[in-house]
Structure 1
């Protein structure tokens, strides 16, 4: 059924800022007076590895309280059944430390091609295992996506006009207008903020992942908008396109490019459909 149904904005009460990018909620920094809420800064991190070379990603671990001693948390690596990464292509430390007097700890994961990384996204997970009785996490696991990239010859930064080229649900997946592309966690990642489903949805951060000759969404976007007025658990989700459906780009020309993504990837309003978002640089 096409989008003639009423959209409804989901009312979502979040302990942390969002499910994709999480900042610490500080009620009161005194660890002796408050429970501690911990979180990875993102639910998904991108680890781009340059073809036949290396790459790295910084992982940030947040706390809602501060302590007068270092806090050390053990890390376990897992491999999902779908497209698991090869352990010979990355190195993860055994633990992450939040230093005394700090609300954050971090560590870097180096990646290496080793002839094993290609354009297919491979995955591994990180899980924190030794929380104390007064420490809590909504989700103690984050996912790392490792994939092959080629150096960008143009900037792909600055102000762009975006416009959705197709509307499979009868309403634009993003509000048309100007956005500002900035570098993300790596030089192969661009992020910007845009309104989803104008009139119904809110502002969301969008991540672009540049690979060799193609680009894609860096991670799924839960729009918090639904067609089903009877079920508040459902939501429209924009997801990365399948490998064969990704948009190509010219690494030497950042004046115009396109992003193909899967709209309604979880069949909330009907069937998933590929949608194209265009980017035209504002000179």
Structure 2
């Protein structure tokens, strides 16, 4: 099913390029004087806050053009639709600076555990205005705020054989039967490089992230490299997260997540992978 849609999309793209090549030959994008597009990079990010401690996250704002002078972007919180308690976070710089000759600016949010729990609450960010004439792309960004517990640096790190132990969804979801290198991409996050749907998109690797949230494996929204149409927010949290026990070791671990969160190619499915330390 994915293969058919991918082939059709490829043919349509080739047809478009073949018909329109001459028309577009002189239309070159100007990254200095062209129209500026301002956008959040991605639609969501995570702010893990260590229990009885703090946390921080950087949200990237990008511009399609560069400028010889600094530019600013003003960001606000959608208080009506946000669910996180304001006592648990601070927007460090609601006016974000994109430095001269740069494409990106950084919005920093600091978290503190006044009343954070393990169930994620949201901060909805909106781009309100910029200091230059521009158009907007993605103007809303969701930050998930949740409590995490300290994890030893060497826990769930190293070479692991990954095997899908639940029914296949259009083939194996990740690099089933392969040994992957799991790294600590944060104090309470692990990640590894894997393929998506190896029956259709073998060789297209991406980073799969797993959060360790106070004895539960919580897979945040991950982008895929193989989809029917929408590649963003493909993998996500399980309906019933799998668990871990620090005292029980990390030789064999089970991680459950939701496959095809948005139902892009079919109904969302609960998928479990077994990680066996090598």
Query: Into which bin does the TM-score normalised by the smaller protein fall?
Result: 0.7 to 0.9
Alignment partner, residue 239 of structure 1 = 236
How has the CA–CA distance of structure 1 residues 42 and 268 changed in structure 2, closer, same or farther, with 3 Å as cutoff?
closer
Shift of 1:224: 4.1
Alignment partner, residue 179 of structure 1 = 180
TM-score by length of 1: 0.77
- Structure 1, 201-210 or 47-56: larger mean CA deviation: 201-210
What's the CA shift string for 1:28-77, capped at 9, x where partnerless?
A: 542xx222233333322111111122111122222232222111110111
Alignment partner, residue 262 of structure 1 = 258
What's the CA shift string for 1:151-197, capped at 9, x where partnerless?
A: 0024233332222111243621112212233343x322222221111
Alignment partner, residue 19 of structure 1 = none
**Structure 1: where are the runs of 5+ without partners?**
14-26, 227-231
Shift of 1:233: 7.1
Between structures 1 and 2, the one with greater helix share: 2
Alignment partner, residue 123 of structure 1 = 122
What's the CA shift string for 1:105-149, capped at 9, x where partnerless?
A: 2132111111x2111111112121114675334311211010010
TM-score by length of 2: 0.78
Alignment partner, residue 243 of structure 2 = 248
**Alignment match of 1:216 (pick from 210, 215, 218):** 218
Question: How many residues of Structure 1 are paired with residues of Structure 2 in the alignment?
Answer: 253
Alignment partner, residue 270 of structure 2 = 274
**Structure 2: where are the runs of 5+ without partners?**
14-28
Q: If you compute each CA radius of gyration, which structure gives the higher value, 1 or 2?
A: 2
Secondary structure at 1:207 match in 2: strand
How has the CA–CA distance of structure 1 residues 124 and 6 changed in structure 2, closer, same or farther, with 3 Å as cutoff?
closer
What's the CA shift string for 1:177-236, capped at 9, x where partnerless?
A: 12233343x32222222111112134333221111001111114456434xxxxx67999
Alignment partner, residue 142 of structure 1 = 141
Structure with the bigger RCO (C-alpha within 8 Å, sep 6+) is 1
